Structure 1
Amino acid sequence: SRGASARTLSTGVPSSARKPSMRAPKEEEDKPAEPEKEKSNLDWFKDYMDEYDEAALKIQALARQRQARIDADNKREELREERLARRAEVKRREEERVKQKKELAALSKEEREQRNAAVKLQSMVRQKEARKVVEEKRRLKEQKQQEEEQHQAAVKLQCLVRRKEA
């Protein structure tokens, strides 16, 4: 690459970080005194492809690691959402239970009040009937007493009439 330093190959990895097999061939002066022979184009291409393959393998490994991290993060997020959903469901059920309990308490309170009102009403009806009965008895007693008084007056009158006749 044109912008990269002369110490890096097209892999983007500095030559100091590469394995010896990835390093560029040492310059001619570093080689032992052998007959000078240049690498053939085929050898150079094979070396280049080996470096390219290693770089591609590293890139694939990094991509797999990154994908594994993404998958793990997604799984954690999914589990977190499931936990939150379960908690929300538990909370909703608890609120529903409390609501039903309150409704039941209100209903039983209402039922108690209705029963008490019915008992009071029955009591009032019984008292009214009892007053009617007492009033009727008193009226009958007074009527009987009046009839008795009228009877006694009639008897006295008859006695007086008989005395006059006698």
Structure 2
Amino acid sequence: MESYEFRYVHGLVQDYLKYILHEPQVGTAPSKASQVLRNVAASHQKKVEESLRPYLDNLAIHSVDAARIIFNQVMEKEFDDGNTNWGRILTVFMFGGILSKKLKELGVQLTGEMEEQISCFITEYIIRTKADWIEENGGWENGFVAKFEEKSPWLSLFDIKTKFMAIFSFFNQYY
């Protein structure tokens, strides 16, 4: 049986991926955290994708399993210094969105089952490695929403671009 926490994060991930892939949303209106995530992460993701186009053009992934492997490797590298903050939590969602868009770009027909697999491996990563930190830092509504609802300027495009450039430089060595 899935925990409430898993279902909540899974809902955030699913909503974000559907939003970033421009798929129709069905069901209830998104939570405040989903709305903030859409606004903040999607705008940064678009800018990061433009900046990293040369790296992304060389990234050839043709299956959900390959996306999972790449996702786990990049997240391991992203958090290898042991530091977590809300900006880095955003990178988890953004990188999942980047991989999903890349799969579609390369002609992979993302079925509902494949989208579920992607949202599950992102959710499992967050729950397994970041749930305690999220809870200790106010949770989604009192931490994440409070941090980003006002469009806090501390998360600069330069910081995100620099981090992704470092990750993709590392990653390009293997793919």
Pair in the same fold by TM > 0.5: no
Q: Which has the larger Rg?
A: 1
Q: Which has the higher contact order (CA 8 A, sep 6+)?
A: 2
Query: Larger % of helix: which?
Result: 1
TM-score by length of 2: 0.24
TM-score by length of 1: 0.25
